[in-house]
Amino acid sequence: MRLGPAIMGSKQMTMLKRLFQRSNHSNDGPLIANANIEEPLSLQVGFAEPKLPYPQQLLEALRSCHRSMRNARCEMEVAQGGNMLGLLGWEKHVIRCVGFELPMPSQVVESCVAASHYSEELKQRARSHKAHMLLYYMGYDPSPLEQYVALAATVAAMDQLGAIAVFNEAGQTSLPSAALSDLISDGDMENLRTLPLPLLYCGFVKHEVEGIPGVWMRTYGAPLLGLPDFAAHATGHQEGQRYFEIFDNALTYLIDSGAHLAAGHTMQIETDEYLRFREPRADEAFLESEGALLVVDIIDSSDINR
């Protein structure tokens, strides 16, 4: 993103130094972005109205969102035209925020909304957002899952300020922001940690491929969590829920156990039902992925050693 003259005053230059400089972060000093993070995880937030919330509103929303965020800080600069740039943070978490009083590109929005798992009415609200904010994790927690949890908590706080949807462009998925706010309002950040991964932290998409009967189902964005994406060939759309759960359970197992999966490995899912993982074949070029991807075949015990 290019920063034009309207955003580059003296105060903004001071902010930019903290946004990008290499320094030590403390819980009671200025927020400092972690310059060791070269490709930060990101979520994008759409707002119902064209005007973004003020920095003081953001601060109050963060501090009231959850008890762990009661000492949150907000260091944001508002540029001419209402665009925003700055940092939010609490404890070890630092979030870089870039806000624009205009909607996200429609092609990006549609790639995130079309395959998502909520009502068409709410999808239309997401498509019709008027302003947006880009959130980048620039803090000091090494866990990609915890980084996404911090980003999701930030979105939950913004729900009370007019946010209507959260997008994950890398995962090609989205959710109403109220869904995250509801999870935190139950009182425990753990609800964001146990959110099914393909709902937001990565995506679950179904593809019909010309000339191939059935439906291909796959995840997007799992490599950003340090995991492989998964793909499977299903007989039809009616198997969507089953494969969503299979992928989520396998990804969650990998995060919880620290195990590593590779082509040729198997994983038991039922008494006599297993997943066997393989690389995509040459005729499956449509499964091209930004990172590692494994195709999942469901087998029984008699096929394990074949």
pLDDT tens track for 64-73: 999 999 999 9
Domain of 68? 15-195
Residue 81 has which token pair? Answer: 């035209």
Domain count for the chain: 2
| Residues 33 and 90 both lie in one domain | yes
Cα–Cα distance measured from residue 135 to residue 139, given in angstroms and rounded to the nearest whole number: 12
Q: Are strands 73-78 and 42-47 parallel, antiparallel or unpaired?
A: unpaired
User: Residue 177 falls within a domain, yes or no?
Assistant: yes
| Residues 168 and 39 both lie in one domain | yes
Which of 10-24, 25-39, 41-55, 141-155 is predicted least confidently? Answer: 10-24
User: Residue 234 falls within a domain, yes or no?
Assistant: yes
| Phi, psi angles (nearest 5°) of residue 29 | -100, -170
Which of 77-86, 151-160, 198-207, 274-283 is predicted least confidently? Answer: 77-86
Question: Is residue 102 within 8 Å of 109, Cβ to Cβ?
Answer: no
Residue 101 has which token pair? Answer: 């009083």
- Amino acid identity at 215: V
Pick the last residue of a domain from 136, 165, 195: 195
Question: What is the predicted pLDDT for the residue at 87?
Answer: 97
User: Residue 116 falls within a domain, yes or no?
Assistant: yes
Whole-prediction pTM: 0.89
Positive or negative, the CA dihedral 97, 98, 101, 104 is negative
Model pLDDT for residues 259-275, shown as the tens digit of each residue = 999 999 999 888 788 99
